[in-house]
Structure 1
């Protein structure tokens, strides 16, 4: 058997003509196991992650079956996106192990095709699935998850108001140069409102540190954001001007007063989507709001999630190359063996992803390292397996 005798007749899909016969043949062999994996893994994921909970809601909370089915359909895109990397691993592992057990890889190697060259079709499929995964996670999954959350909450009368009702706290920081030349973030303003009804902040207290020492305290009954003039309109309040030594220098009472303060407290009080309900652009917008608040824990967590949104699609490349290299070295591995190996690799990857992500969220390692570390390990493992198969 030679490389020229391979024909892509078994493929049900037409592939680009610029690919070689060998490439089209192997890619054609990869497609059906990949589709099988998408169906199997997404069905398993939605059953564990959504179906059982919805059944409980139907039986215990009286959720209408039609709403449950609607929510289930809206949750499917998320699990399909999760299934893409896993299906890539399964497809490459099963396809290359079958080619090895049927001695087709031996024939190709005897024709002068290197192991690295044999990995090219797998890499092409991996890159295509990476783009597909990224598109799903950005264009479909966040909107579908958000719609599922709103639909379920409305059906159960558990929908939260579209804003934070109590205890709105905003801390504004400014980078200040120290005597040693280093820069450090220092608190310049603290904004607190006890209540928010969607339009007005109520029972406000603002501490202003923009000058040396505490320079101003504002206490007001209510405040509302003025969209036209981009200021806050305060009502029924008092301004306390404080000297650097702590003595009151002046006290001014007012019925109505406009103050030039950031809009950020209103942004913080507005209801935000969950991390899985935002795409990268929405997450970056929210990050800008959080950075003005100075909440380092939330900022770090969001930075890790943003990097994970970039890293997740590229795990398809790591999984695909690992599966291809490992499958090429398994001469008599059946489908059950390939599926079992895939489960072990997937579990190991996601365990490492959870651990590294958690370490990054506490600040031990940078967010980019915590998000991309599992992918790096996967690529290193793939390179090692390919070099081992080339010997």
Structure 2
């Protein structure tokens, strides 16, 4: 049956932004959207966190009030994931219901195009995109980081919060050859066997930064001296190597201060997990990883940074796909719409993880690794929308 509000759509006002039609569609979309946010975020946090927290309460004696705090702090991350899924669910269920009750047919009969009807869903999806970006950038990373710290403190975790073994830091510079070409050469190589949170142990440093003289430093341990911005090395030997590769001198020491970069310490110290960093922090971490020269870590972080931008725009893509699919003349119930939503969501995230892995492996660029699923589903949404508009 056609809603009593539909005669108002006959006017030319339906062509203008935020008409009565828009308010009507928004009133139908929002309840389903909020239901989806609550349902999807609850399922996610239950599967990922609740069972693990209960296990820690029983086995490790985690206080219940701490578990509740961690649970609340974990919610923003799953709300971020729920926003796109809820957008798809709301648009698909709402437009499917309106289509099955012939309300969309009545609108088209009054001269309202499919594009104009779907525009309402897309505009709402843009608002959700902004909300997702704020949550994903400002709220979820800080909450995840705080939850991890609270949990570690409460359990007095023995898990190391730093890189323990094989700290490796190469430093390069561009060298201009006589023929004018530039080559990238290794000027310094820093290696340590272990880091206990305070001192590096088992160090070997090859220093080629001075022309005509190379140094090889072997030391039992070293510690960063923040007051003087130098490294304090203990119980070691410095080998001076001349340009002709012959030993020039050997110096043994019990303690020696050397002015070397602090970057190896930054690499060894705990850095936030990807889910605990916003874009600015991730870019800072990327600079550190670039100094370390590990291409695999660099590409992984580059893909994750692009995904920080790509994820919020999934809301627009899902809003378009859901509205276009729902506008197809059909008679489907809520159960069918929900099942279709689950299939679309599963398909999207399957491609999302696969393309991300290909981006990290170097098969795709980091940009394409993050954005490829959005482009694919945007194409599907536009294709469906044009097919419906031609009917």
Q: By how many angstroms is 1:257 displaced?
A: 4.1
Pairwise CA RMSD: 2.5
Q: Secondary structure at the match of 2:192?
A: strand
Cα distance in 2 for residues equivalent to 1:163 and 1:49: 24
CA contact (8 A) 1:41 1:83 kept: yes
CA contact (8 A) 1:283 1:306 kept: yes
**Does 2:281 correspond to 1:282?**
yes
Q: Which residue in the other structure is 1:58 paired with?
A: 57
Pair 130,181 (structure 1): closer, same or farther in 2 beyond 3 Å: farther
**Does 2:111 correspond to 1:108?**
no
Gaps (5+ residues) in structure 1? 8-16
Cα distance in 2 for residues equivalent to 1:125 and 1:175: 51
Q: By how many angstroms is 1:176 displaced?
A: 4.8
Question: Deviation digits for residues 84-111 of structure 1, max 9, x if unmatched?
Answer: 0000000000111111112111121112
Q: Which residue in the other structure is 2:13 paired with?
A: none
Map 1:380-391 to 2 at 5 A: 380-391=379-390
Cα distance in 1 for residues equivalent to 2:154 and 2:238: 46
Q: By how many angstroms is 1:328 displaced?
A: 0.4
CA contact (8 A) 1:193 1:204 kept: yes
Question: Deviation digits for residues 278-319 of structure 1, max 9, x if unmatched?
Answer: 111111111111100101111111111111111111000111
Per mean C-alpha deviation after superposition, the further-off stretch among 324-333 and 49-58 is: 49-58
Cα distance in 2 for residues equivalent to 1:88 and 1:322: 10
Per mean C-alpha deviation after superposition, the further-off stretch among 361-370 and 48-57 is: 48-57
Q: Which residue in the other structure is 1:272 paired with?
A: 271
Cα distance in 1 for residues equivalent to 2:29 and 2:185: 56
Q: By how many angstroms is 1:183 displaced?
A: 5.8
Q: Secondary structure at the match of 1:365?
A: coil
Pair 200,108 (structure 1): closer, same or farther in 2 beyond 3 Å: same
**Does 2:69 correspond to 1:70?**
yes
Aligned length: 382
Q: Secondary structure at the match of 1:240?
A: strand
Map 1:228-247 to 2 at 5 A: 228-247=227-246
Cα distance in 1 for residues equivalent to 2:152 and 2:256: 39
Per mean C-alpha deviation after superposition, the further-off stretch among 364-373 and 201-210 is: 201-210
Pair 18,355 (structure 1): closer, same or farther in 2 beyond 3 Å: closer
Q: By how many angstroms is 1:179 displaced?
A: 8.9
Question: Deviation digits for residues 128-156 of structure 1, max 9, x if unmatched?
Answer: 00010111111111111112222222333
Cα distance in 2 for residues equivalent to 1:83 and 1:213: 61
Gaps (5+ residues) in structure 2? 11-15
Cα distance in 1 for residues equivalent to 2:297 and 2:368: 18
Cα distance in 2 for residues equivalent to 1:83 and 1:3: 32
CA contact (8 A) 2:9 2:110 kept: no
Q: Secondary structure at the match of 2:239?
A: strand
CA contact (8 A) 2:218 2:236 kept: yes
CA contact (8 A) 1:173 1:294 kept: no
Q: Which residue in the other structure is 2:8 paired with?
A: 5
Cα distance in 1 for residues equivalent to 2:241 and 2:343: 65
Question: Deviation digits for residues 334-387 of structure 1, max 9, x if unmatched?
Answer: 111110000000000000001000111111111110000000001101110110
Q: Which residue in the other structure is 1:196 paired with?
A: 195
Query: Which TM-score applies when normalising by structure 1?
Result: 0.90
Q: Which residue in the other structure is 1:312 paired with?
A: 311
Pair 96,144 (structure 1): closer, same or farther in 2 beyond 3 Å: same
Map 1:172-211 to 2 at 5 A: 172-176=171-175, 185-210=184-209
Q: Which residue in the other structure is 1:156 paired with?
A: 155
